[in-house]
Amino acid sequence: MSVQTIMNFIQIALSVVLVAVILFQVRGQGVGLFGSAEGSYRTRRGLEKTLFQFTIVLIVVFIVTSIVSARVI
């Protein structure tokens, strides 16, 4: 297996996990047309905060793997 093939598998796996995490976040909130249903800002706590931070980490890892994959070609 070549390095490019491995990088492609990693990117596909990361993208699937990233989509799932984002959808899981949106499902837990009351999202209206212009933001939250409450109309006020609320602080992320517990699992919601962990998912938010995990999403940021996944995005950074995905971008890094995309750059590395582009350089490998």
Q: Which of 46, 55, 62 is nearest to 26 (CA)?
A: 55
Q: Report the predicted TM-score, pTM, of the whole model to 2 decimal places.
A: 0.72
Q: What pLDDT, on the 0 to 100 scale, is given for residue 49?
A: 87
Tell me the per-residue pLDDT of 39-49, one tens digit each, with 9 for 90 and over: 556 677 888 88
Which residues of the chain form beta strands (DSSP E)?
A: 31-32, 35-36
Q: What pLDDT, on the 0 to 100 scale, is given for residue 55?
A: 93
Query: Which residue, chain included where needed, has tokens 């990117």?
Result: 11
Tell me the per-residue pLDDT of 3-41, one tens digit each, with 9 for 90 and over: 889 999 999 999 999 999 999 887 655 554 455 555 556
Q: What pLDDT, on the 0 to 100 scale, is given for residue 44?
A: 72
Number of domains in the chain: 1
Query: Which residue, chain included where needed, has tokens 């950074």?
Result: 60
User: How far apart, in whole angstroms, are the C-alpha atoms of residue 21 and residue 11?
Assistant: 15
Question: Domain limits at 29?
Answer: 3-72
User: How far apart, in whole angstroms, are the C-alpha atoms of residue 27 and residue 47?
Assistant: 13
- Which of 50 and 40 is assigned the larger pLDDT? 50
